[in-house]
Structure 1
Amino acid sequence: MIRKYVRLIIAGILFLGSIFLFIQALVGTGVLVVLLSGIFVLFHFKNEMNLFAFYFVRKNKFEASGKVLGRVKNPENMIKTQEAYYYYLSGLVEAQKQKNAQAEKHFKKALETGLRLKTDQAVAKLNLSGIALSKRNKKLATYYLQDAKKLDKQKVLTAQIREIEAMMKRI
């Protein structure tokens, strides 16, 4: 539990050090130390492993993203939103590897933990719909697909939703 707050403690110490530097008239160095303390605060709220994994997912390098996520030992010790995005990214990586059971588990855990963005929730439910469809569970797939449609307010996923609907008609 304390490991979560080590970054904030370091940021506080750096901030106090920057105040001392401002008092000593070392303004340039003080500003750099304030920026450095800001980075520690940022990494408290945004886990760096998740940021690297998001970067690799955007570049379609899912294997590299999986390696980065593999370095995380205890995702339960993260802040809840970080933990949710860890499971979300793990689900995306497992879905690309065609490991549907693992991907389903990760997406459900991400939704339980609490993804912040509605679009991310829609993507997770759309993937769950596809997984349910691959298991020939049309009722569950329809349920997840309807939830994904409700959450996709910006109509970003309309092509993928139509693709899943077309697959449903064939079953």
Structure 2
Amino acid sequence: MPNFVRIILAFVFLGGAVSLFVFGHWGWGILALLIAIVIFVTFFFNENMLIAQFYLRKENMDKAKQWLNKITNYERQLIRAQHGYYHLLIGLIESRTAPLQSEKYFKKALTLGMQMDHNVALAKLSLAGIAMAKRNKREATQLLQEAKKADKNKLLADQIKMMKDQMGMLDKQQMKFR
């Protein structure tokens, strides 16, 4: 459902709730007000993305991808602030099956922008892992530093440390082969 229809529907329910309050039907008025609030909240947080995030946390990638595929035209169905998160979620799902193909989604998510710093750090950390898989140590180091800077709440500190340790192991392996 397009976003403008959601707003119109929310205001219709809000008007109905006000009229129910005026005529003394408090129970129905409260129910209509709650429905209006839920519809209005889905304007800012798309229900398909919320359900996909739920399945990502449960590590059920098939269902998460199924719910994200219900968003047919993300530019019309999502507000501009959610475009980056949409590509981040697709990148996270694709990274499980084809890690090197997920790079374009993470880069698109960073260019579209995300409001939360830990999501920016997650995208940069994923890009660092892809760069490391491509044996591009300089880019991986730069992306790790940017991810560490963006991770202000230290939510990804363990993963960043583990990635740095893996880069050290990569250096040792290259020394052995020479």
CA apart distance, 1:36: 0.2
**How far apart, CA to CA, are the structure 2 residues paired with 1:138 and 1:120?**
23
Q: Which residue of 1 aligns with 2:95?
A: 95
Aligned amino acid, residue 97 of structure 2: K
1:30-69 equivalences in 2 (<5 Å): 30-69=29-68
Take 1:144 and 1:83, find their aligned partners in 2: how far apart are those partners? 22
Offset from partner CA, 1:110-166 (integer Å, 9 cap, x none): 111111111111011000000011111111111111110001112121221112112
User: Offset at 1:14?
Assistant: 0.7
Asked if the contact 1:4/1:44 (under 8 Å) is kept, the reply is yes
Deviation at 1:63, TM superposition (A): 1.7
Q: Aligned residue for 1:28?
A: 27
Deviates more, 1:80-89 or 1:35-44: 80-89
How large is the Cα RMSD of the aligned pairs?
1.3
Give 3-state SS (helix, strand or coil) of 1:100's partner.
Answer: coil
| Structure 1: 5+ residue stretches without partners | none
Which residue identity is paired with 2:62? E
Once residues 73 and 166 of structure 2 are traced to their aligned partners in structure 1, the CA distance between those partners, rounded to angstroms, is 37
How many residues are paired up?
A: 169
Partner of 1:80: 80
1 CA distance for matches of 2:16 and 2:34?
A: 12
Q: Read off the aligned partner of 1:49 and give its amino acid letter.
A: N
Determine whether 1:148 maps to 2:130. no
CA distance in 2, matches of 1:80, 1:109: 13
| Aligned equivalents of 2:59, 2:156: Cα separation in 1 | 18
TM-score by length of 2: 0.91
Give the whole-Å Cα distance in 2 for the aligned partners of 1:63 and 1:100: 19
Larger radius of gyration: 2
1:129 paired with 2:128, answer: yes
Q: Measure, in 1, the Cα distance between the counterparts of 2:136 and 2:120.
A: 20
Normalised to the residue count of structure 1, the TM-score between the two structures is 0.94
Partner Cα separation in structure 1 for residue 75 and residue 108 of structure 2: 11
Q: Distance in 2 between matches of 1:3 and 1:73?
A: 11
CA distance in 1, matches of 2:52, 2:115: 17
Please say if residues 125 and 144 of structure 1, whose CA atoms lie closer than 8 Å, have aligned partners that are also in contact: yes
Letter in 1 for 2:90: S
CA distance in 1, matches of 2:45, 2:155: 24
**Amino acid of the structure 2 residue aligned with 1:94:** E
Give the unaligned 5+ runs of structure 2. Answer: 172-178
The superposition leaves residues 47-67 of structure 1 with CA deviations (integer Å, 9 ceiling, x where unpaired) of 011000110011111121111
